Amino acid sequence: MRVRFTVEENYAGWRLDRYLQDKVRRLSRSRIQKLIETRLEHEGPGRLKPSTRVAAGQCFVLLKEAEPEPETPLDFGLVHDDGALIVVDKPAGLPVHPTARYLLHTFTALARERFPGRKVDPAHRLDRETSGLLCCGGAPPHTGTLKRAFAAGRVEKSYLAIIEGEPRAERFL
């Protein structure tokens, strides 16, 4: 996997290792330095060193080994599609958006393949472990309208849980 960086003006003059450490905070400085030596590409003469001072607009690519993604369901049901509103039946185990662990095995990646040429964008959250209906806009203006409706509380969501045993209370908030 190739991760592209373009140095912003506020980082001009920083050491390359410090810049990357600020951008990829989970990695130690020694790990960053090793990646610079072994997995950094740039357009320009010579090799970049950890101590190289970066300039605004400078571009380089960090080559990252892609770890295999965990298995997820790779399909979802289509409940409604009128062009503006798309409602899908998301299975449990399918993440909606990309994360550090999931890139291609997500609803948004699958939606790009299933609806080519359309910008299908979820209007609300639905956790990876949760199955249920996911409302999406069929284009950016529709998505914005849906997201505002969810944020303003004009859309009511309800959940049904199937449990084993007897609950201690009649109702949970």
Active-site annotation, residues:
127
Nearest to residue 51, comparing CAs of 26, 35, 33, 63?
Answer: 33
Q: What tokens appear for 18 in the block?
A: 């410090």
Alpha helices in 12-103 (DSSP H): 16-23, 29-39
Query: Which is nearest to 86 in space by CA: 121, 116, 110?
Result: 121
d(CA 39, CA 34): 8
Q: What share of the chain is helix, strand, coil (3-state, %, to 5)?
A: 25, 20, 55
